[in-house]
Amino acid sequence: MTKNTLPASMIEMMDHVTECLSHRPKLATMFCNCFKNTIQTTVEQLQDNSTFIITGDIPAMWLRDSTAQVKPYLPLANKNNDIASIIEGVIKRQILYVNLDPYANAFNKEDAGAGHQNDITDMSDWVWERKYEIDSLCYPIQLSYLFWKQTGSTRHFDQQFLNAMKKIVEVWKVEQHHEEDSTYRFQRTNGPQSDTLTRDGLGEPVCYTGMTWSGFRPSDDACTYGYLIPSNMFACTILGYMEEILIKIYQANEIVASVSELKQQIQVGIEQYGIIDHPKFGKMYAYETDGYGNYNLMDDANVPSLLSMPYLGYCDRDDEIYQNTRAFILSKENPYFYQGKVAKGVGSPHTPTQYVWHIALAIQGLTTNSKTEKEQLLTIFENTDASTGYMHEGFHVNDPTKFTRKWFSWANAMYCEFIMNYIESAPQHYPK
């Protein structure tokens, strides 16, 4: 498949969406633009049958972004061999990277020494950036599991994959005791404070909770407190996937007990240390904690987020504590919720104030049962592409022509996921 030739299954999907959105043609055009974007501009299939995917305007492959970038293509994987080959290649490349360094979040295509080589950490020429984020280890397992469920293929579950799962579990267990057992350190001397960890790269103090520690958020910003609740929630889901893979594919029952124990410890930690009683919203989840009684009450646009809990499989949409947390997130009580003339939604300390993220809008749409809310979100998408036909990282709530990252494939993919979900759930008699 060349960059200029799209598989028939992709064209069929674009035609289907265009027909379903004939009453809102701009949204359909935006979908087609975004749906093609990853395949045509970010994907490179290599000679070893792996797939290298740049995140967009940065020439490196993020474990998180690369999963999200191909997720909209999963429904097509058992219809088209080219699509299946691309996704299987992404998994192969991700597993290679995890085995090279489970603490790194972004990698080079080869050992070229590009990226942040001056950071004070255990860098290698393969690594673009070595910010340790729990979710970087979650996403490759998520993609592998979903690809298996979609296609029935188990070819990607080889010895290297088993080695990677063992490494992930080992790292998460070590980081349950970050203060005592972790050798991971990270400092960046030439950036903002959010790009580095305190205490000579160790981060702020934490005590044991059962949860596993994360140096950085999925925004690549440093955690305020080391137990990042939504990432631990994602880890619980992923450990459940591992249990099933280990039992059904590898028959590795001796490893399963360890995985199950870790999942239980993390979940107990979340429920014991991650829930606060808010005077306005009642019982809700904090974004971060340290185990010493300090909490960070916020949510961030990047996924995993608290808003994304049902999307990631941690709880049901109707869960009472989730609904309380959601009400907080989508209110002015969340310091990164912004509302203006054109849009309202969740932003991030990673971008300027008053900037809402398209990723967060997509997650809001994917986690609501309300048709009215979905319609409102469609209107926001329609009015905030800055006439580019694509999604961006963040945009100003009063002036969408002010935005960050013109070429950001993760945002394009999340928009596609939301639209495909909307089309699937929209009633057949919806007006055209």
Sheet containing 61-62, strands listed edge to edge, beginning at the edge strand earlier in sequence = 61-62, 106-107, 127-129
What span, in angstroms and rounded, lies between the C-alpha atoms of 136 and 188? 19
Q: How far is CA 266 from CA 204, 209, 251, 259, 326, in A?
A: 20, 8, 24, 11, 22
Distance from CA of residue 351 to its chain's centroid? 17
User: Would you tell me how many other CB atoms lie within 10 Å of the CB of residue 99?
Assistant: 14
pLDDT given at position 431:
33
pLDDT of the chain along its 432 residues, tens only? Answer: 544 689 999 999 999 999 999 999 999 999 999 999 999 999 999 999 999 999 999 999 999 999 999 999 999 999 999 999 999 999 999 999 999 999 999 999 999 999 999 999 999 999 999 999 999 999 999 999 999 999 999 999 999 999 999 999 999 999 999 999 999 999 999 999 999 999 999 999 999 999 999 999 999 999 999 999 999 999 999 999 999 999 999 999 889 999 999 999 999 999 999 999 999 999 999 999 999 999 999 999 999 999 999 999 999 999 999 999 999 999 999 999 999 999 999 999 999 999 999 999 999 999 999 999 999 999 999 999 999 999 999 999 999 999 999 999 999 999 999 999 999 976 543 332
Strands 355-357, 394-396: pairing kind: antiparallel
Instruction: For residue 98, give both structure tokens.
Output: 């995890």
Q: What angle do CA 245, 247, 250 make, to 5 degrees?
A: 75
pLDDT given at position 254:
87
Domain 113-123+130-334 top-level CATH class: mainly alpha
User: Would you tell me how many other CB atoms lie within 10 Å of the CB of residue 9?
Assistant: 18
Strands 227-228, 288-289: pairing kind: antiparallel
pLDDT given at position 427:
53
pLDDT given at position 425:
73
Backbone angles phi, psi at 125, to 5 degrees: -70, -20
Q: Any bridge partners for residue 284, and if so which?
A: 276
Domain spans in the chain, listed from the N-terminal domain onward: 113-123+130-334
Full-model pTM:
0.97
52, 61 Cβ separation under 8 angstroms: yes
Torsion of CA 351, 353, 358, 362, to 10 degrees: 110
